[in-house]
C-alpha cells in the first residue's frame, strides 16, 4: 500500500472551511491516513497562489479549492496544471448548475455565506434579547437595548419588540402601570432611544375585553373599564412627557406599519442603531 505522505492544499478566497470539510469527507473513503491538510484562506492575489504552488510542487500534493473570483480561479488552474499538481474546483459546477436553472449570474463575491451566517446569528441574538427583556423583566436591559418601547398594557409592545428583533434590532419594553413606578434605568438612558406607545381608549376597551374573554374572565372587570384605561393613559402620557420621547399612536396600525414608523423616527433624529440599517 502506498504510504507516501499526501499534502492536501485547501485554497479559498474566503476561509476555506467548505473545501476542508469536503476534503476530509472524501479522504475518509480510503484506507489512507498519511496525509496533511494545509489551508490557505483569504487568497486575493496571484502572488499568493504562486507561492502556494511553489511549495506544493516540492511534494506529492493535491489542491482542492473554492474560488469565486474568476481571474484568480483561472490563474490557480493554469499554474497548478503547469506544475503537474491535480486541482479540484468544488464550487464552479454547482454555481454553473444553479446559474442555468435560475437564469441568473452569480455575484462572484467571496465570503457571502459567512456574512449570511453572521446576519443569522445577530437576528437570533436580537430575538433572545427581546424575550429576556420583555415586559420589564430586567431593567438592566434598558441600557443594552437599541430601542426601548414603553406603554400601557395591550399597546403592542411585545409584538413590536419581536418584529424589530427580526430586523436584528435589540428591543426592550417596559409596561407603564400607575401603581408601579417605572425603573430608574428608564431615566438614565438617552430619551431619543425611547418610543412611547399610546392608543385610542375606545379601541383599547375592545382589545382588553377580548383579552378577558380569552382568559375566561368577565368583560366588566376594571382592567377593561373606561375609567381605568383613561387613568393608565394619563399616567403613561405624564411619563412620556417627563422623558421627552417620541410617542406613537398604534390605534389603527398593523405591527409592520408601527415598526416602519419607529425606524423612520430613529432615522430622522439620527440615532444610530447598533444592529440596525
Provide CB contacts within 8 A for 213, sequence distance 6+. 219
Does 154 carry a binding-site annotation? yes
Encode 20-83 in three state secondary structure: HHHHHHHHCCCCCCCEEEEEECCCCCHHHHHHHHHHHCCCCEEEEEECCCHHHHHHHHHHHHHC
How many other C-beta atoms are found inside a 10 Å radius of the C-beta of residue 47?
9
155 is in an annotated binding site: yes
Per-residue CA distances from 265 to 55, 141, 185, 241 (Å) = 57, 22, 22, 17
> Was 158 annotated as part of a binding site?
yes
Find out whether 66 is annotated in a ligand binding site.
Answer: no
Is there a binding annotation on residue 157? Answer: yes
57: which residues sit within 8 A by CB, 6+ positions away?
83, 84, 85
The answer to the question of whether 219 is labelled as a binding residue is no
Q: Is 156 annotated as a binding residue?
A: yes
Binding-site annotation: residue ranges for ADP: 151-158
Task: Please report, in range form, the residues annotated as the binding site.
Answer: 151-158
Amino acid at each position: 500500500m502506498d504510504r507516501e505522505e499526501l499534502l492536501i492544499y485547501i485554497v479559498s478566497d474566503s476561509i476555506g472551511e467548505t473545501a476542508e470539510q469536503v476534503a476530509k469527507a472524501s479522504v475518509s473513503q480510503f484506507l489512507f491516513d498519511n496525509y496533511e491538510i494545509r489551508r490557505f484562506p483569504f487568497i486575493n492575489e496571484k502572488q499568493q497562489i504562486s507561492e502556494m504552488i511553489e511549495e506544493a510542487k516540492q511534494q506529492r500534493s493535491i489542491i482542492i479549492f473554492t474560488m469565486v473570483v474568476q481571474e484568480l480561479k483561472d490563474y490557480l488552474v493554469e499554474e497548478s496544471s503547469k506544475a503537474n499538481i491535480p486541482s479540484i474546483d468544488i464550487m464552479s459546477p454547482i454555481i454553473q448548475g444553479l446559474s442555468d436553472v435560475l437564469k441568473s449570474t452569480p455575484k462572484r463575491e467571496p465570503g457571502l455565506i459567512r456574512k449570511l451566517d453572521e446576519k443569522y446569528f445577530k437576528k437570533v441574538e436580537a430575538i433572545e434579547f427581546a424575550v429576556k427583556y420583555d415586559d420589564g423583566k430586567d431593567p438592566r436591559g434598558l441600557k443594552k437595548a437599541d430601542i426601548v418601547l414603553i406603554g400601557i398594557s395591550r399597546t403592542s409592545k411585545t409584538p413590536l419588540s419581536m418584529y424589530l428583533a427580526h430586523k436584528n434590532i435589540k428591543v426592550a419594553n417596559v409596561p407603564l402601570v400607575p401603581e408601579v413606578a417605572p425603573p430608574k434605568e428608564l431615566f438614565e438612558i438617552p430619551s431619543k432611544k425611547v418610543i412611547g406607545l399610546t392608543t385610542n381608549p375606545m379601541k383599547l376597551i375592545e382589545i382588553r375585553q377580548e383579552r378577558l374573554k380569552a382568559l375566561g374572565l368577565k368583560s366588566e372587570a376594571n382592567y377593561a373599564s373606561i375609567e381605568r384605561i383613561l387613568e393608565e393613559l394619563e399616567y403613561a402620557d405624564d411619563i412620556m412627557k417627563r422623558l421627552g420621547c417620541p410617542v406613537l399612536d398604534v390605534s389603527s396600525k398593523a405591527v409592520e406599519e408601527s415598526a416602519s414608523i419607529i425606524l423612520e423616527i430613529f432615522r430622522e433624529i439620527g440615532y444610530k442603531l447598533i444592529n440596525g440599517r
